[in-house]
Amino acid sequence: MTPVASASLLAAFQRLTDPRHRRGVRHPFPGLLAVIFLGLLSRQPDFASIARWAKRHWPTLKEAFGLTRRYAPHATTYGRVAADFSVEEFRSALAGWLARVMVTAPVAAAVDGKTSKQAHDADGDALHVLNVFAHNARVCLADWPVGDGKETESEVLKAHLDDLFALWPSLRVLTGDALFCQRPLARAIIDAGRDYVLAVKDNQPDLHETIRTAFADATPASADATTYEKNAVRSRPDTSGATRRRPSTRVRR
């Protein structure tokens, strides 16, 4: 992590409420939380592992996160810090920090639903969660539960698109499997000024045939030059002055 990134992460964590009592506090809360966070990112699975990892890297961590003690804390210290802090405050602070760090380059993220093997709802059923994962950053940008058969994954994504794009301005492209290849969702993404890459299967035969026709004569030189739709075609000028044909299904080459 660069000095600029570590300083901005520390500043983000400084906005969180310290849950500890003042008596006996030896280490600043934002610095300890930053160590726990980086320890988890470094695949340290528990507080004992984080404590050993932090001890090995203590000179670097101490300087980066304003930790003044000569020796690294014991595992119980990290446990007490993590026991009572606000998860919602942490999520908000981390999302804000990531949005600032990632603002310099466009981001593409994959949308996919997963059923948790460890988390359960009040009835004891496994939670099914829709995740938005940025591969380059290797971080989950957002996740939402998919309700017990009343909502589909595509409906959940469409309902949260505005919040997702507002939180992550650099998010430019969403990718997904054939489950997300729905016209209302695709239109909502385009209307938000973003793009999508969605898989198409034989269960949408007209769209599948349209894409096969559009790519039948494609070459690297003709990529993104012209698009076709079986039943309807619309045209629009691009920035170079040439006319680009855009179908209502947003099939692009």
Distance CA 180, CA 112 (A): 9
Distance CA 98, CA 5 (A): 10
Res 132: pLDDT? 92
Q: Please provide the CATH number assigned to the domain covering 106-193.
A: 3.30.420
Res 119: pLDDT? 65
Dihedral sign of CA atoms 85, 86, 87, 91 in order? negative
Res 244: pLDDT? 42
Neighbouring C-alpha atoms within 13 Å toward the C-beta of 102: 24
Condensed to tens digits (0 to 9), the pLDDT of residues 112-153 reads 988 876 666 666 677 788 999 988 777 888 888 887 666 788
> From the CB of residue 19, how many other CB atoms can be counted at a distance below 10 Å?
13
Condensed to tens digits (0 to 9), the pLDDT of residues 64-120 reads 888 888 888 888 888 888 887 888 888 888 877 877 777 767 889 999 988 876 666
Instruction: Fill in the DSSP letter of residue 179.
Output: G
What are the boundaries of each domain within the chain? 3-99, 106-193, 200-253
